[in-house]
Amino acid sequence: MTALEGGGPFRFVLRVRYADTDQMGTAHHGAYLRWFEAGRTEMLRSLGMSYREVEERGIRLPVVEARCRYGRPARYDDLLAIETTLARLGRASMRFEYCVRREPDGELLAQGMTEHCFLGPAGKPVRPPAFLAGMLERAPRP
Amino acid sequence: MTALEGGGPFRFVLRVRYADTDQMGTAHHGAYLRWFEAGRTEMLRSLGMSYREVEERGIRLPVVEARCRYGRPARYDDLLAIETTLARLGRASMRFEYCVRREPDGELLAQGMTEHCFLGPAGKPVRPPAFLAGMLERAPRP
Amino acid sequence: MTALEGGGPFRFVLRVRYADTDQMGTAHHGAYLRWFEAGRTEMLRSLGMSYREVEERGIRLPVVEARCRYGRPARYDDLLAIETTLARLGRASMRFEYCVRREPDGELLAQGMTEHCFLGPAGKPVRPPAFLAGMLERAPRP
Amino acid sequence: MTALEGGGPFRFVLRVRYADTDQMGTAHHGAYLRWFEAGRTEMLRSLGMSYREVEERGIRLPVVEARCRYGRPARYDDLLAIETTLARLGRASMRFEYCVRREPDGELLAQGMTEHCFLGPAGKPVRPPAFLAGMLERAPRP
């Protein structure tokens, strides 16, 4: 796990598992959404609070949109760097962007985004509370 | 979906999806646990109450043990019949057994079981309440 | 499974499984990509050829882009209708679009798309061969 | 990743992801099979050869049986240590055993096993070739 100081995206490295592959012999396109999830989760942790704690404080951040463009395939056992940035922080929603790179050569395999709203304890949309907004303001930007 | 009257297991037919395969070109061994889940869920429904309703009445049936023996591989796009029976109904737990057969030839591909305990609203072990026990007593037996 | 004659999307109905849910108590956002896969697979079958046969003829249709907008949550045990149309058929790629509706009330839960290229036996981009193009020209359009 | 010298199981640490949870609020029982896969994969790597290389040499090790006993639940964002040992190395098959412990307290959450056969390039059962047998003989034992 690497958070480059002085800029750059948050990097989290993971490995393509056999269960992630399909009979094309490469990673199934659905696996990338789980990798994005790991990327933003670890980015939040690096900012000082786990998403588990965010939920324990009554805030949930459900995905309202997800996109991925697949360039070159990820293969079984590849090491992948998931690079995460906070592309937009609004009053009602925010957007993370992701690059998936193969390690160690850094080849760009895929790019994607997820958009999230802020839900309060009653399951209603809320503005991001101060503890969350303050943390997110320190997030790596694209 | 077929519940054979006069005996025999409960049969539920599903298809192997691309996401279920791995780079061996066959279904990943983890997929069978989801198929077992579909099998017992539809068996409960055929007995008169969905597992959703069981949970809404405060009872959960977590898996405490799962086993699967894999014989012949399931392949992409195969139709599979999941045959489910209630092998044991105890005071603290119960056991479902499963056969996975390829359709339409009926070739046996895999066999497995799941064992479940009964948890009450407080998350504590309970005996199966009457509404559940009565339903389960009508379940197909091996 | 329903293919409405005289127009309308191809409809395929499936059920939200326990394994599809997450601790928010609703379907995980990643499940929708598998549901889209089921939708387009069954649409191809309704047009006369399974995707398995397409692959056996040497053509693969990998996903090059996927998107989903999540409106209302899908819940455990919901029946969902996946409505699939072929939104674009080009020389190098094609696009499927999807609506996920809750049955039986038809409430729209999510919308998405997948874009696919055509790969030949050597893994190189090809134009869609006649057998495939002819079939796709009969696909439901948005 | 830790391989304790002088004995003890091979330990690989991973985190429970949101996608691994279900609406019971804990990890879905199917996730453990993927964790076992990660455990034995990393154990093989620690012995000097990745499973990718094993497959590239023409040997596949499909799962012929899998079992898991679930004791205490794994929760979202828990760190888990997957402890893997080679419980049996035969001429036709081998068995890995696994303990899943919560970190950092070491609480035992689940135990399981997978049994694998050896398939040669033609997809037929073979005895483990020397390169594999030699490696496996150095594997941690229960």
Please give the residue range of the domain that contains residue A64. Answer: 2-136
B135, two tokens: 């339903």
User: Within a domain: residue A93?
Assistant: yes
User: Within a domain: residue B38?
Assistant: yes
Written as tens digits, the pLDDT of chain A (142 aa) is 444 455 799 999 999 999 999 999 999 999 999 999 999 999 999 999 999 999 999 999 999 999 999 999 999 999 999 999 999 999 999 999 999 999 999 999 999 999 999 999 999 999 999 999 999 999 999 9
Q: Which of B109, B41, B106 is nearest to B69 (CA)?
A: B109
- State the pLDDT at residue C4: 47
Q: Whole-model pTM?
A: 0.95
Residues D79-125 have pLDDT tens digits of 999 999 999 999 999 999 999 999 999 999 999 999 999 999 999 99
Question: CB C70 to CB A63 under 8 A?
Answer: yes
- Average pLDDT value over all residues in chain D: 95
User: Within a domain: residue B141?
Assistant: no
Count of Cβ atoms closer than 10 Å to residue C6 Cβ: 4
User: Within a domain: residue D141?
Assistant: no
Domain count, chain B: 1
- State the pLDDT at residue D4: 47
More confident call, C61 vs D2: C61
User: Within a domain: residue C142?
Assistant: no
**Rounded Cα–Cα distance for residues A63 and A37 (Å):** 10
A103 touches chain D (CB under 8 A): no
Under 8 Å between Cβ of D135 and D44: yes
Q: In sequence order, what E strands does C1-142 have?
A: 2-3, 10-15, 63-70, 79-89, 93-103, 107-117
Q: Most distant CA pair in chain C: distance in Å?
A: 47
State which residues of chain B have pLDDT below 70.
1-6
**Rounded Cα–Cα distance for residues C127 and C93 (Å):** 8
Question: CB D30 to CB B30 under 8 A?
Answer: yes
Residues B92-100: contacts with CB within 8 Å, 24+ apart?
Answer: B92/B117, B92/B118, B92/B125, B92/B127, B93/B64, B93/B117, B93/B118, B94/B61, B94/B118, B94/B128, B94/B136, B96/B36, B96/B39, B96/B40, B96/B43, B97/B142, B98/B35, B98/B36, B98/B39, B98/B40, B99/B9, B100/B32, B100/B35, B100/B74
Task: Give the count of Cβ contacts less than 8 A between chain A and B.
Answer: 28
Q: Which of C27, C61, A101 is nearest to D18 (CA)?
A: C27
A21 touches chain B (CB under 8 A): yes
C130 touches chain A (CB under 8 A): no
Cβ-proximal residues to B130 (8 Å cutoff; 6+ apart), any chain: none
CATH (domain of B23): 3.10.129.10
Residues 47-86, chain C, touching A (beta carbon < 8 A): 60, 62-70, 73
- Can you spell out the DSSP letters for B23-45? TTSSB-TTHHHHHHHHHHHHHHH
D34 touches chain B (CB under 8 A): yes
C34 touches chain A (CB under 8 A): yes
Min Cα–Cα distance to chain A from D13, Å: 12
Under 8 Å between Cβ of C99 and C108: yes
- Average pLDDT value over all residues in chain C: 95
**Does C103 score more than 60 pLDDT?**
yes
Backbone angles phi, psi at A40, to 5 degrees: -75, -30
Closest-approach residue (CA) in chain C for A109: C64
Question: CB B22 to CB A19 under 8 A?
Answer: yes
Min Cα–Cα distance to chain B from C14, Å: 10
Question: CB D23 to CB C26 under 8 A?
Answer: yes
- State the pLDDT at residue D88: 98
